[in-house]
Chains A and B, each alone.
Chain A
Amino acid sequence: MRDHPFNPWKAETLSTTFEQDLLDLLPRLRRFAAGLAGNPADGDDLCQMALERALANRSRWQEGTRLDSWTYRIMRNIWIDEGRAESRRRQTFVAEEAGATQGGEGAQEAAAELSYVDRAMQKLPPDQREAVLLVMVEGYAYKEAAEIVGCPVGTLNSRLVRGRDALMAMLGEAQ
């Protein structure tokens, strides 16, 4: 594809396409991020981190492979890492303030604003939540979703079923 590796015009064209493709993906990326993070505002923060990391690591993206899967994987990895850091912080907090209610008042008020679906999704463990989102919202095939998550297809399938069953139980009550 790069027949003139030292042609700056060509290089410029390539790099602009990368940005344009990400821009085209952005509405979907925001949707996935909002689902992972639990609300659109936190989702946009996650989305920003993912875009920054994608831009910084663009040389690792192989042309001809799917940019959407690659970027979803970046976003998903950031979310998992942030989640681990967050739960460590929370554990520390709970240990220090023994007897305090988990999460705090602010979090509870914010949760009350959320819809049934949002609240049910937030109760899902991360591995089930991402499986549900990738397949049932983003429309990925099991194989594609498994590649984004980095697990076997069978594992993704069973996480999806557990997540789905939990959601149906919670939403069934709420309806």
Chain B
Amino acid sequence: MTVTREELAAFADGELTGERAAQVAAAVAADPALAGEVEAHRALRARLADHYAPVAAAPVPDRLAALLARPQEAEVVDFAEAKERREARRGIPRWGWIVGPALAASLALVLLLPGSGGNDAAYADPQLAGVLDSRLVAEQAPGADTRVLLSFRAQGGEFCRVFSGEGGGGIACRDRQGWRLEALGEGSAGASTDYRMAGASDAALLARAQEMAQGPALDAEAEAAAQANDWRGASAR
């Protein structure tokens, strides 16, 4: 019986089945030369497997894993979700991650003011008011003395902004008279020009802002639109 080289390889790889497999097995058993070829085939297979095994066992390079780390937007059918993702990518602070661990204890750092536009209400001085009027979160310089951390719309419809500076931070809401101070904290701006983390007081202010807000913080587009409209919210109309 003649066994082709293809059949012999298939036999060694366990690819032959049925009657033919039995015939080849018998031929191999009867012929040391054929048995030697099967052995050589299996030895080569083992050698190749050993040779390439370290690549599969090695840690995957970050650049390859990174390609698969974040879900691609292949099947987004929900517009609200898509919008949310766009905003998240823009790098504008969102409630979730900037407030982070809610720091409930540090809420004490925030002084809540009377507010509500009554006679007792405190208003931002002209300098702060200028900053609140003009500065957009996305465009301010990293080392600015007073930074606007984010803007949001309060439940009554007013636009409010969280600010932080060396002299202290706070939350101010725009009403007919000006920027009414809703809360004050210690502030932290100016501490660092290259890398900035929200300090404990900032976090407390942001937590307070989250309570006051209806919906998420404004994205860059919504903030610019609010500014263009002189920050006139519902109660100021």
Q: Indicate if the CB atoms of A59 and B74 lie closer than 8 Å.
A: yes
Which residue of the partner chain B has the closest CB to A17? Answer: B71
Q: Indicate if the CB atoms of B64 and A136 lie closer than 8 Å.
A: no
A132 / chain B contacts, CB cutoff of 8 Å: 48
B69 / chain A contacts, CB cutoff of 8 Å: 19
Known: A136-B45, A164-B41. A16 touches B71 (CB 8 A): yes
Q: Indicate if the CB atoms of A137 and B44 lie closer than 8 Å.
A: no
A80 in the interface (beta carbon within 8 A): no
Complex CA distance for A30 and B167, rounded to whole angstroms: 56
B53 / chain A contacts, CB cutoff of 8 Å: 31
Interface residues of A in 16-33 (CB under 8 A from B): 16, 19-20, 22-23, 26-28, 30-31
A58 / chain B contacts, CB cutoff of 8 Å: 72, 74
Q: Nearest Cβ distance between residue A49 and chain B, in whole angstroms?
A: 10
Q: Indicate if the CB atoms of A26 and B60 lie closer than 8 Å.
A: yes
Which residue of the partner chain A has the closest CB to B82? Answer: A8
Complex CA distance for A102 and B70, rounded to whole angstroms: 43
Interface residue count on the A side (C-beta < 8 Å): 49
Listed stretches A39-47, A86-94, A104-112; interface member: A39-47
Q: Indicate if the CB atoms of B10 and A142 lie closer than 8 Å.
A: yes
Which residue of the partner chain A has the closest CB to B42? Answer: A136
Interchain Cβ contacts within 8 Å, total number: 111
Q: Nearest Cβ distance between residue B224 and chain A, in whole angstroms?
A: 28
> Secondary structure at chain B's binding surface: helix, strand, loop or mixed?
helix
Q: Indicate if the CB atoms of A167 and B44 lie closer than 8 Å.
A: yes
Q: Nearest Cβ distance between residue B173 and chain A, in whole angstroms?
A: 34
B9 in the interface (beta carbon within 8 A): yes
B60's partner among A11, A15, A27, A161 (CB-CB below 8 A) is: A27
Interface residues of B in 56-107 (CB under 8 A from A): 56-58, 60-61, 63-65, 67-69, 71-72, 74-78, 81
A118 / chain B contacts, CB cutoff of 8 Å: 51
Q: Nearest Cβ distance between residue B116 and chain A, in whole angstroms?
A: 39
Complex CA distance for A117 and B81, rounded to whole angstroms: 52
Q: Indicate if the CB atoms of A136 and B44 lie closer than 8 Å.
A: yes
A157's partner among B9, B58, B61, B77 (CB-CB below 8 A) is: B9
A127 in the interface (beta carbon within 8 A): no
Interface size class of B (residues with CB under 8 A): 35 or more
B45 / chain A contacts, CB cutoff of 8 Å: 136
A52 / chain B contacts, CB cutoff of 8 Å: 67
Q: Indicate if the CB atoms of A15 and B48 lie closer than 8 Å.
A: no
Known: A34-B52, A141-B15. A158 touches B67 (CB 8 A): no
Q: Indicate if the CB atoms of A26 and B44 lie closer than 8 Å.
A: no
Q: Indicate if the CB atoms of B71 and A15 lie closer than 8 Å.
A: yes
Q: Taking each of B6, B10, B76, which has the highest tally of chain A beta carbons within 10 Å of its own beta carbon?
A: B6
Complex CA distance for A44 and B58, rounded to whole angstroms: 12
Q: Nearest Cβ distance between residue A62 and chain B, in whole angstroms?
A: 15
A8's partner among B44, B55, B81 (CB-CB below 8 A) is: B81
Q: Indicate if the CB atoms of A161 and B71 lie closer than 8 Å.
A: no
A101 / chain B contacts, CB cutoff of 8 Å: none
B5 in the interface (beta carbon within 8 A): yes
Interface residues of B in 1-43 (CB under 8 A from A): 5-6, 9-10, 13, 15, 40-41
B47 in the interface (beta carbon within 8 A): yes
26 A-B contacts (beta carbon < 8 Å)? A11-B76, A12-B71, A19-B71, A20-B68, A26-B60, A26-B64, A26-B65, A27-B56, A27-B60, A30-B55, A30-B64, A31-B55, A40-B55, A43-B55, A48-B63, A58-B72, A117-B51, A118-B51, A136-B44, A136-B48, A136-B49, A157-B6, A157-B9, A157-B10, A167-B48, A171-B44
User: Closest 10 CB pairs between A and B?
Assistant: A11-B75, A8-B78, A31-B56, A27-B56, A19-B68, A31-B55, A136-B45, A117-B51, A34-B55, A23-B68
